[in-house]
Amino acid sequence: MHRLLLGLLLGLAASSASAAAVEPSLIPRPAQLRLANGQFRLAPATPLRIPAHDDGARHAAQFLMSQLVRTHGPRLALAEGAPIAGAIALVRDVHAGLAAGGYTLDVGVDGIRIVGADDAGLLHGTVTLYQLLDEAGQDAVPALHIADAPRFAWRGLMLDSVRHMQTPDEIRALIDQMALHKLDVLHWHLTDDQGWRIEIKRWPELTRVGAWRTPPAAGEDGEPARYGGYYTQETIRALVAYAAARGITIVPELDLPGHATAAVASYPQFGVTGKRIAVSPDWGVNTTLYNVDEPTLHFLESVLDEVMTLFPSRWIHLGGDEAVKDQWQASPAVQARMKALGLKTEDELQSWMMARLGDYLKRHGRRMIGWDEILQGGVPGDAMVMSWRGTEGAVDAAKLGHDVVLSPSPDLYFDQLQSSSDDEATGRIPPKSLADIYAFEPVPAALDAAQARHILGAQANVWTEHMPDMRHVQYMVFPRLDALSEVLWTPPARHDWEGFLARLPAQLERYRRAGITWADSAFAPSMAIDETAARAHGRTTLTLANQSGFGTMRYTLDGSAPNPDSPAYAKPLAVTLPLTVRATTFAPDGSILARRVRSFDAADLYARDGNTLVNCPGNPFRLRVQPLPDATSRRPVYTINLFNACQVWPAAPLDGAQALHVELARLPNNYALAHEATLVVQRPRTTAFGELVIRRDSCEGDILATLPLPDPTAAPRRFALDAHFERQRGAHDLCMAFTAPGDGPLYAVGRLSLDAPR
């Protein structure tokens, strides 16, 4: 059911009963939109007119038609020629006073006209029209006038194709979605410690050797024997052209001088030690650096030669992040070079190296971008800074007069979880919700108006360590990309969180029809019971909630699927166990936003999912991971703290308990921590492989049980241990700490079950 029509049927539209009184579900919201009377009715094969010999208009028209076909929208008949009555017309007008990327769109009873001055404007206008046509249900579009232009020039998304790769078709589908969100930059992270993904003809070892890594647990339990691959130059050219036809520039990133393990594994002579090393299967901060000698710089320049032939982008990203300088400090040759160059610190040496390569780009008409670490040792004035370590880098860089793009961690890192629900997939913690993304402001308050002009825009970063396949990438990207697109496109005065939510169901329906996976985290009903009351007398209360508060949660307790007539949740319900709750969040248009089912029984009152435990005092780091890094299974997931293998079950209902059954998982320790390794808490062990030590009340409290861990070379990856102890009284915090050696596997707690009295 389409929203406008349903709005009418339900009497939700304005009292004039005009369908046009409902704001169309356009995301990002246009800068100006005025609804008018009447509508344009589509005929079968409505003409779509474009100017003669206008490639930009033709690309825009073809993109519109391909999206309509893909989502079963109306068919249009494309022809060159001036606008005629009854047609949709694209008009190029450089005298209409339109901003870059801006357009006007007018829908009247006798036709639709989109005016743009540039290719981007025509494309943006057709994207808006796509959303109108799609929502209008193929036959009519409400009369309206839209005048629209982007707030920021850089509206980006970064895709990491190193940690996990995506197929060209998958990237094309992502590019389509970016275009449909009026984004214009795909920052493509192509080289890193874990792989080299871009074919360089002059240096074939980069992909023969550097594109492949041996995963931990290679070949076991769904983990591949080797992981990797690369994009050929032919594939890259096709993707660049595909993106360009959709108004998107692909900005490649070669990360240097750190994140260089795959390159140095391919050509050890361009590393600092000259030793042959393996492509790294370890996430985090590896310590391999490029050398700084002339042969290495010539190697990098020759790589850039090929990069520049593949990518017409003015901007080329040279990384610059997380380059720990140990290897440079330990190398007499590097130290001698530093001295010869008159440089005092390794940070200055990095700056020198990046400036030299930045200069090389400049001589070829290009410009360098670097992560904000490039500010550390001084940076050429025309380099762009990408601020990721919070927003301080953006402030510093803009004050120094550099152009800046914001992609701060964790705010715009799409590898952060989207909610604290225990059914979220893998990712970093804390969650960054849909509302968090919508509330992000790219221009730091510390900048004055002149400095703020250096903020070109922002992008979300999709780091894929914990996203082994594209379905997972999509789950992390959508619908948070909708929120981001509105942040980047729409003038702040037109931002409206409630209105955004109201416009979202139509967008989610587009995703359904386009086969895009999206996260329902903002709408999923969470269900909780008062466990203390349930343990005391069986009767308890059930509370439902959803993160955004949007929509109506309807529930059943009788096993049937909730429908629009099921009771709407309004306040906590009195219930008795056992209990199975089914809850569905319905949008105002009746579409389904999320469904969940959950059972509660007596045993659950004495059990806990490991993902719901909390960190022991100390380090707040939390990461939710899949069992093996390159296997594509997404369940179960485990939460770990790399710095302190210790979790607490707060107020565990120990009263009467004498035993605890602990389900555990052994996980590969494929994390490189560099200098942060000194922060890892190591506890003394008394047996060969360490123990799980369970303490009562606090992590310094009495030991309730010490459970030796089995030999990791012999035990299954998932195993269980049983703790037995004296009968307990009352509720107590349970602190569970692992004493396994830090250079061995990691351990995570799965489900915990007490043998409490029933």
Catalytic residue numbers read: 192, 259, 322
CB-wise, 463 or 586, nearer to ligand ACM? Answer: 463
For residues 399 and 346, is the Cβ–Cβ distance under 8 A? no
List binders of ligand ACM among 379-438 (CB under 6 A). Answer: 388, 409
Smallest CA-to-CA distance from 172 within 238, 226, 223 is with 238
- The interaxial angle of helices 119-135 and 168-180, nearest 10 deg, is 90
Smallest CA-to-CA distance from 721 within 636, 658, 648, 659 is with 659
Buried b (16+ CB within 10 A) or exposed e, 534-553: bbeeeebebebebbbebbbb
Residue with the shortest CB distance to ligand ACM: 321
CB-wise, 322 or 469, nearer to ligand ACM? Answer: 322
Closest separation in Å from C-beta 698 to ligand ACM: 35
State the burial class of residue 620 (Cβ atoms within 10 Å of its Cβ: 0-12, 13-18, 19+).
Answer: exposed
Task: Please identify which residue in the block is written with the tokens 């439902």.
Answer: 544
CB-wise, 460 or 534, nearer to ligand ACM? Answer: 460
Closest separation in Å from C-beta 165 to ligand ACM: 18
Closest separation in Å from C-beta 371 to ligand ACM: 5
For residues 270 and 202, is the Cβ–Cβ distance under 8 A? no
CB-wise, 621 or 725, nearer to ligand ACM? Answer: 621
Task: Please identify which residue in the block is written with the tokens 């105002």.
Answer: 588
Give the separation between CA 474 and CA 425, rounded to whole angstroms.
Answer: 12
Closest separation in Å from C-beta 743 to ligand ACM: 24
Closest separation in Å from C-beta 369 to ligand ACM: 11
160 part of the interface to ligand ACM, by CB under 6 A: no
Closest separation in Å from C-beta 255 to ligand ACM: 8
Give the separation between CA 339 and CA 486, rounded to whole angstroms.
Answer: 50
Q: Would you state the structure tokens that stand for residue 214, as one six-digit string?
A: 């041996």
The 319-338 contact track toward ligand ACM, x by CB under 6 A, reads --xx----------------
CB-wise, 150 or 442, nearer to ligand ACM? Answer: 442
How many other CB atoms are there within 10 angstroms of residue 323's CB atom?
30
CB-wise, 182 or 259, nearer to ligand ACM? Answer: 259
Give the separation between CA 486 and CA 460, rounded to whole angstroms.
Answer: 13
DSSP, collapsed to helix, strand or coil, labels residue 464 as: coil
188 part of the interface to ligand ACM, by CB under 6 A: no
Closest separation in Å from C-beta 321 to ligand ACM: 4
The 272-311 contact track toward ligand ACM, x by CB under 6 A, reads ----------------------------------------
Omega prior to 636 cis, within 30 of 0: yes
Identify the H or E element spanning 383: none
Closest separation in Å from C-beta 158 to ligand ACM: 9
CB-wise, 131 or 464, nearer to ligand ACM? Answer: 464
CB-wise, 373 or 589, nearer to ligand ACM? Answer: 373
Closest separation in Å from C-beta 358 to ligand ACM: 18
CB-wise, 254 or 754, nearer to ligand ACM? Answer: 254
CB-wise, 99 or 674, nearer to ligand ACM? Answer: 674
Give the separation between CA 717 and CA 746, rounded to whole angstroms.
Answer: 11
Buried b (16+ CB within 10 A) or exposed e, 559-573: eeebeeebeebeeeb
H helices of 10-98, in order, are 55-70
For residues 438 and 482, is the Cβ–Cβ distance under 8 A? no
Q: For ligand ACM, how many residues bind (rule: CB under 6 A)?
A: 5
Give the separation between CA 372 and CA 315, rounded to whole angstroms.
Answer: 15
What is the secondary structure of 180-218 as a DSSP string? HTT--EEEEE-EETTEE-B--TT-THHHHTTTEE--TTT
CB-wise, 460 or 667, nearer to ligand ACM? Answer: 460
Sign of dihedral through CA atoms 51, 53, 58, 60?
Answer: negative
Q: How many CA atoms lie within 13 A of 271 on its CB side?
A: 22
Give the separation between CA 406 and CA 154, rounded to whole angstroms.
Answer: 10
DSSP, collapsed to helix, strand or coil, labels residue 157 as: strand
Whole-Å CA distances, 649 to 346, 607, 610, 732: 45, 10, 9, 9
| 8-state DSSP, 443 | S
For residues 726 and 656, is the Cβ–Cβ distance under 8 A? no
371 part of the interface to ligand ACM, by CB under 6 A: yes
CB-wise, 148 or 321, nearer to ligand ACM? Answer: 321
Q: Would you state the structure tokens that stand for residue 189, as one six-digit string?
A: 């992270």
Give the separation between CA 450 and CA 454, rounded to whole angstroms.
Answer: 8
Closest separation in Å from C-beta 285 to ligand ACM: 8
Give the separation between CA 530 and CA 703, rounded to whole angstroms.
Answer: 29
CB-wise, 480 or 554, nearer to ligand ACM? Answer: 480
How many other CB atoms are there within 10 angstroms of residue 429's CB atom?
19
Phi-psi region of 312 (alpha: psi -120 to 50; beta: other; left: phi over 0): alpha
Q: How many CA atoms lie within 13 A of 41 on its CB side?
A: 2
Closest separation in Å from C-beta 413 to ligand ACM: 7
Closest separation in Å from C-beta 527 to ligand ACM: 35
Closest separation in Å from C-beta 386 to ligand ACM: 8
For residues 641 and 614, is the Cβ–Cβ distance under 8 A? no
DSSP, collapsed to helix, strand or coil, labels residue 264 as: helix
Task: Please identify which residue in the block is written with the tokens 């402001």.
Answer: 441
Q: Would you state the structure tokens that stand for residue 66, as one six-digit string?
A: 């391909």
Interface residues with ligand ACM (CB under 6 A)?
321-322, 371, 388, 409
